[in-house]
Every structure is written in structure tokens, then in C-alpha cells.
Amino acid sequence: MSEKLAISGGAPILKRADYLNWPVITDDDRKFIAEVLDSGIVAGATGPQAVALQQEFAAFTGAKYCLTTCSGTAALHMGLAAVDVGPGDEVIVPSYTFLATASCVLHQMAIPIFVDIEPRTYTLDPAKLEAAITERTRAIMPVHIQGCPADMDPILAIAEKHNLHVIEDACQAHGAMYKGRMCGTLGIAGAFSLNNLKNLCGGEGGLFVTNSEDVLRKGDLVRYFGDECDEKTLRQKYNASILGYMYRNQELPAALARGQLKHLDQLNATRIRNSEYLSRHLGEIPGVIPPTCPADCKHVYWFYAVRFDPQAAGIDAEPRRFRVAVEKALAKEGVLVGQWQTMPVLAQDVFQSMIGYGKRYPWAINEAKGITYKYDPNDFPVAQMLCESYTNVHSIHPPNGLELNEKVVAAFHKVFANLGEVMDHADDAVQVGFDGRLYGVG
């Protein structure tokens, strides 16, 4: 192809204005938010929007119970606390996820134990799970990463065999299905995030789901200071029975989430259509590896990650160098690409330093006397491989459609038809950020 790459001064294929913003606001959002303002009730566990959202999300997922929370992280923490994970207990977490999956384990003074991911779906690898289980293991937290269901059947079977709780991090997977069942409802508890980027958006907030009345009750106590409620009057007793937090949501985010929930299936359908279109077309380019959706599953594509393989593309370069060079060239063509997590979660300083609460807690806790914990990124080759070689393509979220994604495919073709030139610019003083924006360096 003779078209000049934008990175060498040619015309870019896309403009920023080709991209439409998330979230998609409708009259349903306006209606529920107006209800809040008209009612004058802006907060409280029994607020009408919070209560309605809980019922509607329980119905949507098929879970028996749902509680709104102030964040997905809070919902994850409630799950651990509700099943009595405590000081010195070990909790298994995938090597590639958002920090909160692992940090909420620390919040219970428990110790995250990482297990590597599966190379096709980037979810917790069940084949590596049993080797990580010890007599101190209490729970497993699979993550439905980027909207892709974790392989729950073997995970649940191993959990049952070893008498472990399964708490699902479904913060990126609203509406994702594993073999006909809704992600987030397969373990003892599930956590969803309502933050502004997630498939179901409330601005901020979260949702905690469970089928267990005990876990609901305990989760609810953890959500609100551990304060007991009078069973008859539902009045707060101002008498905390356990250690709790302040993890409630508010009416405005709950109202927005209700409006968004009405359209979730349709919004997810757009994500799936855009993603499948990209996978069909990008998959034809040697060296581009699209994401996979496991058999009998519904992937809801919170993010769309591709990996680059320099060898398959005919380029003699390290995977990281190749990925960075391709990202730069794509970004210059106007394609919003960029990495979300850049390293296995355990490579972050908070785990490497093991300072924790100070004095190296929880790792230095009495319950873990004689045990040496170490977090070596080299023990997680699949997560490392992923972080070297992947980028997210930010064109799949609604209201963007195929028109935008056709241009994205054209830009990929242009870049991959000129890889020699792309590599000439590998060291250009420009960096692609998480959101696809370009940042100059130096």
C-alpha cells in the first residue's frame, strides 16, 4: 500500500469526533433522576430508587437478593466479610485483574494468593488452581475479565472439593453468561461495579448479589457500620455487633443505574456486534490476535483487547517493542487504543513492598508465622505475556457502531501493511495513554 502513515506525516484515517461518548443517556435516566429530585429523598437504605434497583437487578440476574453499594470494591469486600474470611486466611485471585480484586482481600487482613490466567480468555486458569490451595485457603475470587466469563464449572468443582467459598468479581460482566447462567450468581456472592466506564453505569456505585439469606444479612451489616436493625421497626439500634463500614449507595446513582438497566441488553448487544465485527476482520491480519469467547458463553466486551504477535506479523522484534510501536502508529491514525492494566496485579508496589497496613501486615500476622509469602511476576508467565502484547481498542462501546469500526479496521490494515515504517518510529517520543490519548514525552 502506498498510503503514507500518519506517523510519517500522512493523513490520519480517524478524527476524535468520529467517536461518540459513553454512557448513552436516555429519557429513562432523566425520568428516574427527576423522580429523585421530585421526591426529595436523596439517600438511605430504604430509598425508593435503591430498593427498586435492588429488585430490578435481582430480577435481571436471577439472584435471590441484591444490595446497592457505593462501589464494586465495597461489594467485593462485603462478600469476603460475609463469609468470614479473616486475618491470615488465604484467598485466591487471578494474576491479571484490577487492583480491587486483590486489595479487598487485604482489607480483611487476609492474604491474596495469585494464580495465573488462561492464555485464551485471560481468566483464572482452573488447571493451576489446586496447586495454590493450602489448609489456610478460604475463598476463590474468579474475575470475569473484560466481560469474558471465567471457566466456572471446574472452579466451582475444585471449590466444593476443598470446601472453599467462591466470590465472583463480576465488576466488568453485567449480563455475561456462563453456560446459560448469569455471571455473578454462580458463587456464594457476586460483585458488580456501577462506575462510569462499566457496562451498567450509575456514575459510581456497586451491586452485591447472593442467593444466601445468611450472606445477605451479614453483607448488609458490613455495608452499614455493623449496626443492628430492630427487626420489627427496621430502626437502626446504634449498637454495632460486628466491624462494618459505610458502603451505602445514594438515590441519584441508583436512579441512573435503573435507567441504564432498562437498556443493558441492547447496549451489550451493540458491544457484541462491534466486537464480533472487529474480531472477524482483525483476525484476518497476520500478527493480530482477537479476544475469544468461550463455547456456550456470552461475553459482554466491557473492553476489547487484541494481542500482537511480531513473529506472525513477520517482524523481528520483542513483543513489547512491537506492541508499543503498533499502538503509536494506530494512535496517530486516530484509533483510540491503549493498555488498561500494564502489569500483573502482584507486580504493583503495594504487593512488592508488602507494607500493607504498616509493619508488613497482613503478611506478618501471627496466623502466618513461619510462612514466607513472595510475589514474583516471573511466576505468572501468561499474565506477563498478556501485558507485553495487548492493547484495548476503544471503539466497541455504544453508541458507536459499525461505521466507526470499519474505519478502525481500515486503520489496522494500513498500519499492518507498512510495518517496516511502523518499526522505524518505534522510539518516537510519544506515549499512548490508557484512554488512547497521545502524550508527548521529553
- Contact residues toward ligand PLP (CB under 6 A) are 71-73, 97-98, 100-101, 143, 169, 171-172, 193, 195, 206
Shortest CB 100 distance to ligand PLP, Å: 4
Which of 198, 346, 185 has its CA nearest to residue 268?
Answer: 198
Q: Based on CB atoms, which residue is closest to ligand PLP, 267 or 368?
A: 267
Please name the residue that has the C-alpha cell 502508529.
Answer: 329
Residue of 353, 340, 363 lying closest to 105 (CA atoms): 363
Parallel, antiparallel or unpaired: strands 137-140 and 438-440: unpaired
Least distance in angstroms from the C-beta of 171 to ligand PLP: 3
In angstroms, what is the minimal distance from the CB of 329 to ligand PLP?
28
| End-to-end CA gap in the chain | 32
The total number of residues shown for the chain amounts to 442
| Choice between 142 and 259, CB closer to ligand PLP | 142
DSSP 8-state secondary structure symbol assigned to residue 231: T
Q: Which of 74, 43, 22 is nearest to 252 (CA)?
A: 43
- 407 vs 336: CA distance, rounded Å: 12
Tell me which DSSP letter residue 371 carries. Answer: -
Return the number of the residue (98 or 416) whose C-beta is nearest ligand PLP. 98
Ramachandran angles phi, psi of 395, nearest 5°: -120, 5
Residue 398 and residue 23: Cα distance in Å, rounded?
Answer: 8
Let me know if 231 is exposed, middle or buried by CB neighbors in 10 A (0-12, 13-18, 19+): exposed
Q: Min. distance of Cβ 202 from ligand PLP in angstroms?
A: 9
Cβ nearer to ligand PLP, comparing 143 with 176: 143
143 vs 166, beta carbon nearer ligand PLP: 143
Instruction: Give min distance, CB of 105 to ligand PLP, in A.
Output: 12
Q: How far is the CB of 97 from ligand PLP (least distance, A)?
A: 5
Closer to ligand PLP at the Cβ: 387 or 423? 387
Asked if residue 344 lies in contact with residue 386, where contact means CB atoms within 8 angstroms, the answer is no
CB of 204 to ligand PLP, least distance (A): 6
Q: How far is the CB of 351 from ligand PLP (least distance, A)?
A: 16
Q: What's at 142, amino acid-wise? A: P
Kindly tell me which of 184 and 356 has the beta carbon lying closer to ligand PLP.
Answer: 184
Nearer to ligand PLP, 206 or 377 (CB): 206
Distance in Å, CB of 428 to ligand PLP, minimum? 31
Nearer to ligand PLP by Cβ, of 143 and 382: the residue is 143
> How many Å apart are CA 257 and CA 192, to the nearest integer?
12
Rounded to whole angstroms, the Cα distance separating 114 from 371 reads: 16
Residue closest to ligand PLP when measured from CB atoms: 72
> Please, what's the b/e burial string for 323-360 (b: 16 or more CB within 10 A of its CB; e: otherwise)?
bbbbbbbbbbbbbbbbbbbebbbbbbeebeeeebeeee
